[in-house]
Structure 1
Amino acid sequence: MLDKLEAINQRFEEVSQQLIQPDVVSDLKKFKALNKEYKDLDKIVTEYKKYKNLLSNIESAKQVIATEKDEEFREMAKEELDELLPQREAMEENLKELLIPKDPNDSKDIIMEIRAGAGGDEASLFAGDLYRMYSRLAEKMGWRMELIDATEGTAGGYKEIIVGISGEDVYGKMKFESGVHRVQRVPATETQGRIHTSVASVVVLPEVEEFDVELDMNDIRKDLFCASGPGGQSVNTTYSAVRLTHIPSGVVAQCQDQKSQIKNFEKALKVLRSRVYEIELAKKNEAEGAQRKSMVGSGDRSDKIRTYNYPQGRVTDHRIGLTVYNLPAVMDGGVEDFIEQLRIAENAEKLKEGAAA
């Protein structure tokens, strides 16, 4: 492990030097890539330096115990060693985790799509509840959420809502939320108190830069239409809403949230780019035979990942068998426990793979 950490430290020094070179500063694509690498390496190097300092202190304490004649000094060194050794174990575990190869998309912002599935109006209401849950989570995490497009349900909630979320390592935390979310509860319209089951799907896409995927604007058809829903006098009177179609793949993205056609175009293009990137990434992984069916990974969109049972106040994540009985807190944005446990489970898988390799 020390050899790996020293190699990372040397690479960190190289990247630091490259970032101040004029030819790199003037090349935006190269500068962004190196700057991202610098940030990723910085976390590891900072911990590595702390670890080296700790090892030095352990060695010094052992030296005192072995050579010092004064019994009081030796006792002090033994007490210090008793404190330092558990710290070394904890630090080594942390460093092992930091050395696990990261998904290059983990540090990216995301496009999140929430859609009502089976269950009629109740599914739309549940999609609205999930949107609120993620809004509250974003507030807690200090992330910024921005509405891109929404189609409201007839009885409230949303048939579909698309948002952008930006902040630190958003994709790395939120990628586990992709899949089918199931709710079991008595709908407000149910007169006989029967429990209904409804579903909503969540898709989390990494927001990609222009240089991550090349889109030829000649391959994109742009359609304008009148925005619908709330929005003031401009709704249904101006062609500000934008629908973009990527002709080669058939992928469609639209935005009608802004009054400005230009802003709607920019948002729709952002979504289109992320959707095309996802398709290209899936093809690449398949071609390389690298599409690992992870127990906890972002997985298949059709996989049922979590159940929210209102009568029992229970939330169960089916991938890791985690059940909690604090549903109101979860629906108020308290999803961190699930995210953390899923991250730990994924890292455990990667460590096993590394050991088997």
Structure 2
Amino acid sequence: MTDNNSLLDKLEGLVARFEEISTLITDPSVLADQKRYVKLTKEYKEMSSLMKARKEYVQLLNGIDEAKDIITNETDQEMRDMAREELNLCQARLPELEEEIKIMLVPADPQDGKNAIVEIRGGTGGDEAAIFAGDLFRMYVKYCESKGWRVEVSSSNEGTAGGYKEIIFTVTGENVYGTLKYESGVHRVQRVPATETQGRVHTSASSVAVLPEAEEFDVEINEGEIKWDTFRSGGAGGQNVNKVESGVRLRYLWKNPNTGESEEILIECTETRDQPKNKARALTRLRSFIYDKEHQKYLDDIASKRKTMVSTGDRSAKIRTYNYPQGRITDHRINYTIYNLAAFMEGSIQECIDKLMIAENAERLKESEL
């Protein structure tokens, strides 16, 4: 019972904090401090799940004690049979719940609850890489639709034979970054390109970068130092697009606090015909870009701790191969192979993400020695 008690002690130690947060989030001075309020409500939500699990855990432990007591001391056979059944149920659920609690007790990545900005770029392989980048974009859109998340494209550069040389979009919903972060890295495709006449299989690649969307108070930006240009959006969309200067270009000189070096950031946003909307999207991307850069040190620290990094870490690492002739997908981080490529490309990627999450949780548990 010692393991149970140590887990229970950890949970009991959090009760006071939960009660404190419950009081704080109704305090007028906290409500007036938006930054603090957002942080506390987030913590409250996370701790609510733990408190619910604690309640079930205590009930299970009490249920086991009561059932054992009845089996030992009760003379009524029917009562003893019922107690035995109850004991079996409680003992079956206990280890499951303990694992769930252990994972809840491991500090989550503070970025997980954020929305995400996803950048897909066609890499090696020319036209075919751009077509594949388009296939990946479609796959993510279908997946996001299945989760009830909203996808908004902020800029795109189409490939000459279809697809995209580059496409950047924002995904809004619950726990988006915590789910999509596993997609960061190089995706390799093996297939006969539409442009190939000899029927030979080619290998090409596209890279995916998933960044947590920064909120206004996550980074300090001096908006007075942003240089804005406007220009006419090209491409389809009727006469209005070409007459109105709705496209925006933002330039910002930023000093990296980790290295002390300054670099100019250039961001374009052309997606809507509404210039203020494009400006707002460009600003969001600027915040997220800086936030990502500033957090790179934090990501590197995690990566150096974990040897078989599942998420974050090196974005230039080849993470997955899509082999069309065999209908096969292999995720190289966890040696996971499945033969349902058609469904996968239609957005059925949840099973793979679940397996990556399980692998990462196992690493995090090992790290925290719970």
TM-score range, shorter chain: over 0.9
1:245, 1:316 → 2: CA distance? 40
Q: Which amino acid aligns with 1:351?
A: L
Residue 315 of structure 1: aligned partner: 329
State the SS of the aligned residue for 2:63: helix
State the SS of the aligned residue for 2:152: strand
TM-score by length of 2: 0.92
Q: Which amino acid aligns with 1:303?
A: A
State the SS of the aligned residue for 1:328: helix
Residue 219 of structure 1: aligned partner: 225
Task: String of CA shifts for 1:142-186, please: whole Å, max 9, x gaps.
Answer: 111111111111111111111110111111111010000000000
Deviation at 1:244, TM superposition (A): 1.3
Q: Which amino acid aligns with 1:332?
A: E
Deviation at 1:291, TM superposition (A): 4.8
Q: Which amino acid aligns with 1:319?
A: R
1:245, 1:341 → 2: CA distance? 40
1:101, 1:122 → 2: CA distance? 41
State the SS of the aligned residue for 2:101: helix
1:75 aligns with 2:96: no
1:131 pairs, out of 124, 127, 137, with 137
Residue 299 of structure 1: aligned partner: 313
Paired residues of 1:58 and 1:85 also in contact (CA < 8 A): yes
1:202, 1:285 → 2: CA distance? 17
Following superposition of structure 1 onto structure 2, how do residues 141-290 of structure 1 map, counting pairs within 5 Å? 141-248=147-254, 249-283=263-297
State the SS of the aligned residue for 2:93: helix
Deviation at 1:290, TM superposition (A): 7.3
State the SS of the aligned residue for 1:279: helix
Task: String of CA shifts for 1:305-327, please: whole Å, max 9, x gaps.
Answer: 00000000000001111000000
Deviates more, 1:299-308 or 1:66-75: 66-75
2:90, 2:236 → 1: CA distance? 61
1:79, 1:257 → 2: CA distance? 61
1:164, 1:292 → 2: CA distance? 30
State the SS of the aligned residue for 2:283: helix
Deviation at 1:75, TM superposition (A): 2.0
State the SS of the aligned residue for 2:167: strand
TM-score by length of 1: 0.96
Structure 2 gap ranges (5+): 1-6, 255-262
Deviates more, 1:103-112 or 1:225-234: 225-234
1:223, 1:172 → 2: CA distance? 34
2:16, 2:152 → 1: CA distance? 39
Residue 15 of structure 2: aligned partner: 9
Deviates more, 1:48-57 or 1:300-309: 48-57
Following superposition of structure 1 onto structure 2, how do residues 319-330 of structure 1 map, counting pairs within 5 Å? 319-330=333-344
Paired residues of 1:107 and 1:171 also in contact (CA < 8 A): yes
2:41, 2:33 → 1: CA distance? 12
Paired residues of 1:109 and 1:164 also in contact (CA < 8 A): yes
State the SS of the aligned residue for 1:211: helix
Residue 347 of structure 1: aligned partner: 361
Q: Which amino acid aligns with 1:308?
A: Y
2:239, 2:51 → 1: CA distance? 55
Q: Which runs of 4+ in 1 moved over 3 A?
A: 283-286, 288-294
Distance 1:106 1:190, change over 3 A: same
1:19 aligns with 2:25: yes
Paired residues of 1:179 and 1:299 also in contact (CA < 8 A): no
Deviates more, 1:80-89 or 1:101-110: 80-89
Equivalent residues, number: 355
Paired residues of 2:303 and 2:313 also in contact (CA < 8 A): no
Deviation at 1:193, TM superposition (A): 0.5
Task: String of CA shifts for 1:224-267, please: whole Å, max 9, x gaps.
Answer: 11112222222232221111122123222221011111100000
Structure 1 gap ranges (5+): none
Deviation at 1:108, TM superposition (A): 0.4
Deviation at 1:337, TM superposition (A): 1.2
1:89 aligns with 2:95: yes
Deviates more, 1:291-300 or 1:325-334: 291-300
Task: String of CA shifts for 1:99-125, please: whole Å, max 9, x gaps.
Answer: 111000000000000111111111111
1:40, 1:232 → 2: CA distance? 48
